[in-house]
Structure 1
Amino acid sequence: MRTENLLVELGTEELPPKALMQLGSSFANNIEEALTQAELSFNSVVWYAAPRRLAVRVEALVDSQQDKVVEKRGPAVAAAFDAEGQPTKAALGWARGNGIAVEDAERLTTDKGEWLLYKASVKGKGIAELLEGIVTQAVSKLPIPKPMRWGNYTTQFIRPVHTLCALYGDELIDIAVLGLSSGRTLQGHRFHGEPRFELDHADNYLSAMQDHFVVADFAARASAIEASLNERAASLSLTADYDEDLLNEIAALVEWPVVMQASFDETFLDVPKEALIYTMKDDQKYVPLLNSDGSLSNQFLFVSNIDSQDPSQVIGGNERVIRPRLADAEFFFNTDKKQTLASRLDSLDTVLFQKQLGTLKDKSDRIASLSGYIASVIGGDEQQANRAGLLSKTDLMTNMVMEFPDVQGVMGKYYALHDGESEVVANALYEQYMPRFAGDVLPSSLESAAVALADKFDTLVGIFGIGQLPKGDKDPFALRRAAIGVLRIITEKSLVIDLEDIIARAVSIYGDKLTNTDTQTQVVDFILGRFNALLQDQNIEIDVIQAVSARRPTQPTDYLARVKAVAEFKSNDAAEALAAANKRVANILAKNNVEGDASVNNALLQEAAEQQLASDIEAISDGIYKAAGERDYGYVLNTLATLRPSIDAFFDNVMVMADDEAVRANRLALLLALRELFLTTADVSLLAK
């Protein structure tokens, strides 16, 4: 069977840069799915994407489906013929539907009986017949939130489509998609070379694009841009400041990337670098350059889509574009410094945080109160944390943050230092939003941690308190992110904080604003639920998490210590037997409604095995409870593992449900004492298979 490489390209007007990668990969995935459904074999599917094109290459695609034999089973022979041996209506209808006479049908015999059978040879369809449906299906499934129409066409796509190319090797496949008929015509670069040209063979796509000033391979284009940026920066002894998102967005804006160097007036460097970097990256997609000490250089790089014969014109144009943006930042910075952060507190009353929960001023007052309390709990400076909490939202009212929202907190630090606030307060204003994303750094000081926690707890309690719990993927107040931030700060900084305590404090600060009477329990459970999910992401086994979760420890650092101890204990040779024994103990106690304090009467211990178990429990109990109080759960579980022989002997030799009521009650009390020891760490019975 013949195989060739298939190329399908849609030539469009400029596609949305932030969506380009997803469009390209989705197009390839959709084509691959449709080919698989059509039972056409191939080696691989590769996607290409540039601002004015989406393309897919299918490597080693067969030219047609395999021929196959289709079997259609009819009615049972007993039901296909009447007593005289004549075909019944059921048999006649089935045969007619398959285009045969009843007597032409074959027979299928199984151990359950005999049926009429029709076998038909179905010839496989060729790629020329199937491709239009495959591409149409792939295009229809692309993630396009707002499709558009253009010209007189009734079809819709994310941008107007001008060319459609479909080549199987050197053969043009005649298809019609989005109102266009396929051809060999491709669009070249908008400004370089021929605007349109003919492609002779699917295998020549990339080289032909290159000849017409288009780097069609997105990954290759991004890689070339990155190498050029770093090479140019290194030649200046500077470092290019970009991340993957910026690099990909730049790659989605150009088809023939040319890295150029420009500069701005050094006087702008008096403005905090974060604001300058923000406007260069976010507004202009420029790449800032940093000195070896991390300070911002007045040199920057940008990526042009043309290879100009007079680069100075392109460079000068970009320098003229960036100057007013930097001038705005400079003006905002100098204007904002004329007013202190503290003087902006009253203006927070003009901005609503949430209709039922009050203004940003109300939120700041709550954060101040809660920050001070948290700082006192974790050993920070209560007054400094309170001050930072009070000023935490004031930079939102500055011109700079209103213009460049991403520098909130950052500008708070600069303005606080300018106002004469302490460095502790200034850093807390900057670090209050940490961690902003997965893997982000955490607040550096106890006071900063107190403010960051207070802000997140206030939001969680407030939104839960008015009954607006997250549902499905809807989480408008980012409560899940807030909960994970709380957990990371507490556990990674080893803070001794009880969720019940802090959340109860936050609820009391809200006063009568909250309508949900179950707020405290729901918020604690929500955070612990996030903790369980976070632990699963760290490859902690689910039964380990369930064993600890059953005890509902509300100090995250304590919770984590238990999880680590149980996970290690699970590898102990005695773990499986002890888990099974604990499960047996739990079932016995539950069945007999045994709860409360375990009080064992040694005088009622009759059997040697129960006497030994009681003696062993008594010998280790004080050490167990002391270690548990110090969160040394590894010691607790390893010590409990030494009870295995006496536990096994107890169940082998002692009848728990003795006829004598006092003896029976005493043995149940002994089991309760045993279970209480294990429960100091986790419910290990849940580790039993």
Structure 2
Amino acid sequence: MRYENLLIEIGTEELPPKALCKLAQAFADNMQNALDTAELKYTSIKWFASPRRLAVNVLELAEQQEDKLIEKKGPAVSVAFDETGQATKAAQGWARSNGITVEQADRLTTDKGEWLLFKGESKGETISSLLPSMIDGALKKLPIPKAMRWGSSSIQFIRPVHTVTVLFGADVIKGNILGIDSDRVIQGHRFHGEKQFSLAHANDYLAQLEAHHVLADFATRKAKIQQQVKATAQKENAVADMNDELLDEVTALVEWPVVLTASFDESFLEVPKEALIYTMKDDQKYFPLLDQNGQLKSRFVFVTNIESKDPKQIIGGNEKVIRPRLADAEFFFNTDKKTTLESRLESLKTVLFQKQLGTLYEKSQRIAELSGTIASMLGSDAVLASRAGLLSKTDLMTNMVMEFPDVQGVMGMHYAKNDGESDTVALALNEQYMPRFAGDQLPTSHISSAVALADKIDTLVGIFGIGQVPKGDKDPFALRRAAIGVLRISVEMKLPLDLTELVQASIDSFADKLTHVEDLTSQVVDFILGRFRAWYQDQNIDIDVIQAVAARRPTKPADFAARIEAVSEFKRLTSGLALASANKRVANILAKNKITGTTTIDPSLFESEHETALADALNSIEGTVNAFVNDANYQGVFDQLATLHVKVDNFFDNVMVMAEDEKVRNNRLALLSKLRTLFLLVADISMLNQQQ
């Protein structure tokens, strides 16, 4: 069997940069699935991608499928022949379908009878016959939101295709893919060297492309850009503002990255840096430079796709491009400062938040009210919180935010300071959207937290209250993200807030706008609490621990988190697992006897010292346990409950719960009910798995 490396490259016009990695990975995954389905052997699969190519490299691919021995079971002998021993039509038809006569068939004998059997060999197909349809199928399954046609062809792809290269070692695998006959022709760099060249061997792909000014390996290209941007920033005694998303996009825009530095007029630094950074990163794909104090410098780094003999021309061109964008930001900022945020409240009446829920003005009024309520719960200034809530959406009506939507909030902070609002209010306007995404920072004050929570809860209650509950992956109002934000703020800032109280306060602020109010509080609270599962699973918390706590439905997120921590620690103890097992047994016994709460225990009915010992132990820790629960000291609760381990084991080893005497039986059930009630104060540990 011959094994060679396979190269598949689709040469195109410039591909959409934000989708490049996703397309390349999907191409490799689809090819892997096709090869696995065809049972073709290979070692591994890699993908390459640049603006003008998608490529897959299959290492040590077998030239053909292995031959397979096949067995096909036919009709039973009893129905394959008639009374005279002649083959029936059913047997003859089966034999013909396998290319044999009935007489040539083997026999399969089992304890259930005897059947006709065909034994044969299926010759493995070669990759020459298999690959073209595999590649075609893999390309058709790519996540292309909107395909395009070009020329007079009816073929569709994400961008026009110019070359298709399929090399198995040095051999071309012939086929017509996307209307192009496969060959060994590769597109070079658009501006450097040959426009196309012939590739002799699949193994030469990366080296030959690099010789033609193309770094086809996305990861290599990205690492080079990252290293050069950092090095360039260091020479400027600065730090580059470089996130992974921007780095990926820039990497997808160039094939031969060259990093250069340019500058802009220092007068633009009078504009808040966030607006300047936004336009540099999002509009121009530049890397802004920050000094050691985090202040924006009038210099930036950019990546070009051309290695010019006169880089000053490229630098000058980029400086010329950025100037009008920064000038726009400067104009918007200076114009916006002439109008206070408070005076923009009226304009919010012209913007609809949601048809049934009213305008942004109405939402701002609700946020103001709820922010004050939450601040009071936290012992903070309700007046400041309400003020921040009232102004929270006003910067949406500024020129700057209308032009650069991503700076909402932060521009509200700057304009609030310009208007003379307190620093606390200004900060809350910026932090109201936190956390904006997974892993994002949280608000830094109780006032900011109050506004952030009020905004998110108002949206949750409003959308649930008009019956638009998220279904499947459809979540147009980002309610899941809002719920996670509520949990993160409450838990990580250890805020003693009850979701039931917050949601009910929000419902009250909507007056008669809500149409689905039945069980609305429970629906919203359960939806928020439901986000705990995914959140804690991401932290590698055992699912049974989450379920044990969720079964008690604690509605204070910080309290929920404290219980999770305590149950996780309890589960690690040997006594914890034993008590969890005992609790499961107790729960089953009580359920069968329909006992749902603690009943009166009569010590005079005890017949065993082990009943007395367990009862005395429960009585001795009950007061301490209740005190610990009131203080949310759940670790202390479990420390107390762990002392019951031996006495619970002795009870079950020596006491028959279901005694014949009804009074004795009910007394023992009451004892177990008290035991279970103490454990249920924290979580339903009967739900814990009994294996580590």
Same fold, TM-score > 0.5, yes or no? yes
Letter in 1 for 2:192: H
Give how far 1:465 is off.
0.9
- CA contact under 8 A between 1:263 and 1:298: conserved in structure 2? yes
Letter in 1 for 2:510: Y
Match of 1:68 in 2: 68
- Is 191-200 or 401-410 further displaced after alignment? 191-200
Structure 1 residue 122, shift from structure 2 partner: 2.5
Per the alignment, residue 135 of structure 1 pairs with: 135
SS in 1 for 2:275: helix
Structure 1 residue 501, shift from structure 2 partner: 1.1
Counterpart of 1:554 in 2: which secondary structure? coil
Q: Which residue of 2 aligns with 1:256?
A: 256
Which amino acid in structure 2 is aligned with residue 549 of structure 1? A
Q: SS of the counterpart of 1:511?
A: coil
Partner residue in 2 for 1:557:
558
TM-superposed CA distance for 1:611, in Å, is 2.5
* 1:111-167 C-alpha deviation (Å, 9 max, x unpaired): 333322222222222222222112111111111111111111111101111111111
Q: Corresponding residue for 1:669?
A: 670
Kindly indicate whether the alpha-carbon contact (under 8 Å) linking 2:597 and 2:677 is maintained by their aligned counterparts in 1.
Answer: no
Name the residue aligned to 2:624: 623
Larger CA deviation: 239-248 vs 104-113:
104-113
Q: Distance in 2 between matches of 1:28 and 1:372?
A: 54
Gap change, CA 1:580 and 1:231, over 3 Å in 2? closer
2:548 corresponds in structure 1 to: 547
Q: CA deviation at 1:608?
A: 2.9
CA distance in 2, matches of 1:661, 1:486: 51
Corresponding residue SS for 2:620 = helix
Q: Which moved more, 1:128-137 or 1:335-344?
A: 128-137
Within 1, Cα distance between the matches of 2:515 and 2:243?
A: 44
Query: 1:196-595 maps to which residues of 2 (within 5 A)?
Result: 196-516=196-516, 517-595=518-596
Deviation digits for residues 263-318 of structure 1 (CA, Å, limit 9, x no counterpart): 11100000000000000111111111111111111111111111122222211111
Number of residue pairs the alignment of both structures matches: 689
CA distance in 1: counterparts of 2:461 and 2:114, whole angstroms:
70
Q: Which residue does the alignment assign to 1:168?
A: 168
Structure 2 residue identity aligned to 1:25: Q
- Counterpart amino acid of 2:213? F
On the 8 A contact 2:372/2:385 being kept in 1, the answer is yes
CA deviation after TM superposition for structure 1 residue 606, in Å: 4.3
Look up the match of 1:641.
642
1:602 and 1:35, CA in 2 relative to 1: closer, same or farther beyond 3 A? closer
Query: What per-residue deviation string (whole Å, max 9, x for no partner) do you get for residues 511-568 of structure 1?
Result: 2111222210101111111112212221211221222111111111111111111111
Give the Cα–Cα distance (whole angstroms) in 2 for the partners of residues 162 and 367 of structure 1: 56
Question: How far 1:607 sits from its partner (Å)?
Answer: 3.6
Task: Identify which range, 548-557 or 530-539, moves more after superposition.
Answer: 530-539
When normalised by structure 2's length, the TM-score is: 0.97
Distance 2:653 2:305 in 1: 82
CA contact (8 A) 1:41 1:62 kept: yes
Q: In 1, distance between residues paired with 2:610 and 2:227?
A: 74
With 167-176 and 636-645 compared, the bigger mean Cα shift is at 636-645
Equivalence for 1:100: 100
Q: What are the superposed Cα offsets for residues 209-259 of structure 1, whole Å, 9 maximum, x if unpaired?
A: 122221111111111111111111111111111111111111111111111
Shifted more, 74-83 versus 330-339: the winner is 74-83
8 A Cα contact 1:341 1:419, kept in partner: yes
Distance 2:646 2:220 in 1: 65
What is aligned with 1:181? 181
SS at match of 2:6: strand
* Residue 59 (structure 1) aligns with: 59
Q: Is the 8 A contact 1:583 1:688 kept in 2?
A: no
Q: Is the 8 A contact 1:42 1:60 kept in 2?
A: yes
Aligned mates of 1:210, 1:577 — CA distance in 2: 64
User: Given that residues 598 and 677 in structure 2 are in contact (C-alpha distance below 8 angstroms), is that contact kept between their aligned partners in structure 1?
Assistant: no
Amino acid corresponding to residue 497 of structure 1 in structure 2: L
CA distance in 2 between partners of 1:399 and 1:554 (Å)? 41
Could you tell me whether the CA contact under 8 Å between 1:342 and 1:391 is conserved in 2?
A: yes
Alignment CA distance shift 1:32-1:586 (3 Å): closer
Quick one: percent identity of the two aligned structures?
Answer: 62
1:688 Cα deviation (Å)?
A: 5.7
Structure 1 distance, partners of 2:45, 2:577, is: 48
* Residues 375, 446 of structure 1: 8 Å contact kept: yes
- State whether structure 2 residue 30 is matched by structure 1 residue 30: yes
Q: Deviations over 1:304-333 (max 9, x none)?
A: 111122222211111111111000000000
Deviation at 1:657, TM superposition (A): 4.1
1:471-503 residue CA offsets vs partner (Å, 9 max, x unmatched): 011111111111111111111111111111111
- What letter corresponds to residue 570 of structure 2 in structure 1? F
Deviates more, 1:179-188 or 1:271-280: 179-188
- Rate the CA distance shift 1:5–1:509 in 2: closer, same or farther, 3 A: same
Letter in 2 for 1:530: R
1:109 is paired with a residue whose SS is strand
Provide the rounded CA distance (Å) in 2 between the counterparts of 1:532 and 1:125. Answer: 48
- C-alpha change, 1:607 and 1:149, in structure 2 (3 Å) is same
Q: Residue 2 and residue 604 in structure 1: after superposition, are their counterparts in 2 closer, same or farther (change >3 A)?
A: closer
Deviates more, 1:188-197 or 1:291-300: 188-197
Q: Which residue of 1 aligns with 2:149?
A: 149
Once residues 671 and 29 of structure 2 are traced to their aligned partners in structure 1, the CA distance between those partners, rounded to angstroms, is: 62
Please give the alpha-carbon distance, in whole angstroms, between the structure 1 residues aligned to 2:194 and 2:667: 96
CA distance in 1, matches of 2:572, 2:349: 57
Query: Deviation at 1:671?
Result: 2.4
Distance 1:17 1:31 in 2: 22
Offset at residue 655 of structure 1 (A): 4.0
- Cα RMSD of the aligned pairs, angstroms, is 1.6
Report the AA paired with residue 260 of structure 1. L
**Partners of 1:655 and 1:417 in 2: how far apart?**
74
Q: Distance in 1 between matches of 2:661 and 2:134?
A: 79
The corresponding residue for 2:611 is 610
For 1:444, the aligned partner's letter is: T
Q: Indicate whether 1:679 and 2:684 are aligned.
A: no
Q: Does the Cα contact within 8 Å between 2:40 and 2:65 map onto a contact in 1?
A: yes
Distance 1:40 1:588, change over 3 A: closer
Separation in 2 of the partners of 1:659 and 1:127? 77
Give, in whole Å, the separation in 2 of the partners of 1:617 and 1:35. 64
Question: Greater CA deviation, 54-63 or 319-328?
Answer: 54-63
